[in-house]
Structure 1
Amino acid sequence: MDLRALKTFEACVRLGHFQKAAEELRFAPSTVTLHIQRLEADLGVSLFIRDGKRVIVSEAGRWLRHEASALLNSIRTMRRTVSDIAAGDGGAVHFAAIEPIASQRLATVVADFCRTRPKVQLTMEVGGSNSIAERVRAGELDFGICSVPAAALMLEFEPLMEDKLGVMMRADHPLANQPDITASDLARQTVLVKEPTCIYRELWDRALSQTDNSAISYHEVGSIFVIQQMVKQTCSVGVVPIYSGLEMEGSVVIRPFTNLNPVVTLGIVYRDKDSLGKASILLMDAIKELH
């Protein structure tokens, strides 16, 4: 069925006159007549009853007008949606990031993206670095913010920043007066660290293995924010990435290490830029501006 003829038919019925339909559609009157004749021939029915100079819509025409209006509205919506997706103002973005970069660095960028592109269906998850890379590879995520993925995953990686580990403690803790901390300073402390699958825990274990303090004892806690609250309430210390946003004025501070250099590179990981939607690319570009 010719959509142009259907559009012409809908205009004729809605405006009640072939001439008015021709003016609205900017067609010659003969073109309007031709469209109606072709549509009637295609359907095998008369859509209008000619009564002298009057043209009356037939029963079949009245039914078709209702269906044609719904179809044409659907097509207009479809065109707008496709156009929005192509421009990055529509579609869906599904990505994940590790903590604390998700809350400390990305939250503002994502909030601004949602404000400027409200039609985009955005899903942001928080997870572990290895899991994020594997899900990007599997196609479950458009992209991720994590550490360098395993080479076997064959993913693209664009560095964003470097995270360094430090020691979180109460502001009144004896070590808080030191500008930086050595690994040996932790030998007599209750140390809180992330779980073994966390990139920051892996980073800490690698750094500690290069010193004579590998016997430091610690407790495993699965959340940096839980570590923060535990440190605030007790005399324990936590090994966490250095983010000023994790400090709490007057109660919790973070001090760097002096004899260790535990650094991990974080960046954007994705499979293939050509397969990404425009909205995903725009959000990735906004995130890149962080550094």
Structure 2
Amino acid sequence: MDLRALKTFEACVRLGHFLKAAEELQYAPSTVTLQIQRLEADLGVSLFVRDGKRVIVTEAGRWLHNEASALLKSIGTMRQTVSDIAAGDTGSVRFAAIEPVASQQLATVIADFCKTRPKVELTMEVSGSRTIAERVRAGELEFGVCSAPSSKLMLEFEPLIEERLGIMLNRNHPLADQDSITASDLAGLTVLVKEPTCIYRELWETAIDGAGRNPFSCMEVGSFFVIQQMVKAEFGIGIVPIYSGLEQEGSLVIRPIADLNPVVTIGIAYKDKNYLGKAALLLMEAIRGIREPNPTRPSA
């Protein structure tokens, strides 16, 4: 059935007159009559009974009107939803980011995005760089914020920021008064590091191995927050990215590593922009804003 004919039929029944339907739809009266005649011919039934200048809806016409009204309303909703998706006002986005970028850089960006586009179903996961890249490649995530993925995954990668590692110290630690720390300063200390699959752990071990010095003992801890709390409790020192947000006034400080300066590039990894929805593209654009200097983040 022609949807235009159904729309014309619905207007005729609702308004009770062919001429009023023609005026509402901005059709010529003859066009309305022709569409109704074609619809009746297509269905093989009479939808109206003519009584002089009046038209009376038949039983079949009344049933069709109920169904047509629901269908046209559903089509209207479909059109609006498709339009909203195309504009990025609705839809779904699933992405992931590594810590502490997720909490220190992206949390406010995501909050602002959700406030301006409340109909978008957004899922943000926190994971390691390797896992994120593999899931983006598998199509389980639209994109990820992580370190540069392996070339074999064939993903696009847009660099955003450079992360530098530092030493997290309790304010009472003797090294806390130094502006920077060298690897030799860590002799005999317990160093708290992330799990082996963490990009920051890999960065740290690469820097230390390159320097040929390892005068300390390491303890593996799977969470930056736990590292933070252990250092606060005056157990060991932590290897963490340099973020002022990880420091705690009066209890914790982060100092750069003067002789190693380990650096890793963090960016957006994705397969193909042509396959991404408008909401995902808009969120990526918002995330690109973290390229701007962050006044709360100390320079390394």
- Equivalent position amino acid for 2:195 in 1: E
Correspondences of 1:1-291 after superposition (within 5 Å): 1-291=1-291
Q: 2:294 matched to which residue of 1?
A: none
Q: 2:297 matched to which residue of 1?
A: none
- In the TM superposition, what is the alpha-carbon distance from 1:160 to its structure 2 partner? 0.2
Asked if the contact 2:136–2:144 (Cα under 8 Å) also holds between the matched residues in 1, the reply is yes
Asked if the contact 1:169–1:235 (Cα under 8 Å) also holds between the matched residues in 2, the reply is no
- In the TM superposition, what is the alpha-carbon distance from 1:235 to its structure 2 partner? 3.5
- In the TM superposition, what is the alpha-carbon distance from 1:155 to its structure 2 partner? 0.7
> Hey, what's the Cα distance between the residues in 2 that align with 1:167 and 1:29?
81
Asked if the contact 1:132–1:146 (Cα under 8 Å) also holds between the matched residues in 2, the reply is yes
User: When the two structures are aligned, how many residues end up with a matched partner?
Assistant: 291
- Equivalent position amino acid for 2:193 in 1: V
- In the TM superposition, what is the alpha-carbon distance from 1:212 to its structure 2 partner? 3.7
> Hey, what's the Cα distance between the residues in 2 that align with 1:116 and 1:185?
48
- In the TM superposition, what is the alpha-carbon distance from 1:183 to its structure 2 partner? 1.0
- Equivalent position amino acid for 1:279 in 2: A
- In the TM superposition, what is the alpha-carbon distance from 1:215 to its structure 2 partner? 4.5
RMSD over equivalenced CA pairs, Å: 1.0
Deviations 1:13-50 (A, max 9, x none): 11111111111111111111111111111111111122
- Equivalent position amino acid for 1:269 in 2: A
Asked if the contact 2:188–2:215 (Cα under 8 Å) also holds between the matched residues in 1, the reply is no
- Equivalent position amino acid for 2:72 in 1: L
- In the TM superposition, what is the alpha-carbon distance from 1:110 to its structure 2 partner? 0.9
User: Which 5+ residue runs of structure 2 have no aligned equivalent?
Assistant: 292-300
- Equivalent position amino acid for 1:15 in 2: L
- Equivalent position amino acid for 1:267 in 2: G
- In the TM superposition, what is the alpha-carbon distance from 1:214 to its structure 2 partner? 2.2
- Equivalent position amino acid for 2:115 in 1: R
Deviations 1:134-161 (A, max 9, x none): 1111111111000011011111111000
Give the TM-score, by structure 2 length. Answer: 0.95
Asked if the contact 2:186–2:215 (Cα under 8 Å) also holds between the matched residues in 1, the reply is no
Percent pairwise identity:
73
> Hey, what's the Cα distance between the residues in 1 that align with 2:17 and 2:118?
41
Asked if the contact 1:173–1:235 (Cα under 8 Å) also holds between the matched residues in 2, the reply is no
Deviations 1:166-185 (A, max 9, x none): 01111221111011111122
Asked if the contact 2:133–2:144 (Cα under 8 Å) also holds between the matched residues in 1, the reply is yes
> Hey, what's the Cα distance between the residues in 1 that align with 2:92 and 2:212?
50
User: Which 5+ residue runs of structure 1 have no aligned equivalent?
Assistant: none
Asked if the contact 1:187–1:213 (Cα under 8 Å) also holds between the matched residues in 2, the reply is no
- Equivalent position amino acid for 1:257 in 2: I
- Equivalent position amino acid for 1:246 in 2: L
> Hey, what's the Cα distance between the residues in 2 that align with 1:113 and 1:61?
48
3-state SS of 2:179 partner: coil
- Equivalent position amino acid for 2:77 in 1: T
